Amino acid sequence: MNYLNNLIDGYQIIISPHMILGWKPKRPHHKRRINKKWEKRYGHSPIYDMEHVYMYGNYLIMSKGYYERLRKAMKETRWSNASRFKLVL
């Protein structure tokens, strides 16, 4: 366990804005006319790529959704050092 902590501490995480698969409306409607109005009013949310993480040297490149899921999983487990990740924006 200690080995894994030391291994993860050396990586810097980069959140890539290009790892978005698409967009979905926040409030969809079955009629096209209403759907256009609702999209204008309520907007849309991104669909993140939750499957791929790229590694170049000491950098982990991932989407924002994957980063949030990783952070949540590390806080729930014994890895309380989740705050020691270096986030590069």
Phi, psi of 32 (to 5 degrees): -65, -40
Contacts of the segment 64-67: beta carbons below 8 A, 24+ positions apart: 64/15, 66/19, 67/13, 67/15
- SS3 assignment, position 8: helix
- What dihedral do alpha carbons 3, 80, 16, 11 form, nearest 10°? -30
pLDDT of amino acid 8: 56
* Residue whose C-alpha is closest to residue 46's, from 67, 25, 69: 25
pTM over 0.75: no
Is the pLDDT higher at 16 or at 75? 16
What is the rounded radius of gyration, in angstroms, for the C-alpha atoms of the chain?
Answer: 18
- Return the domain boundaries, the chain: 2-88
Q: What pLDDT digit, counting tens, does each position of 6-37 carry? A: 345 667 888 888 888 888 999 999 999 999 99
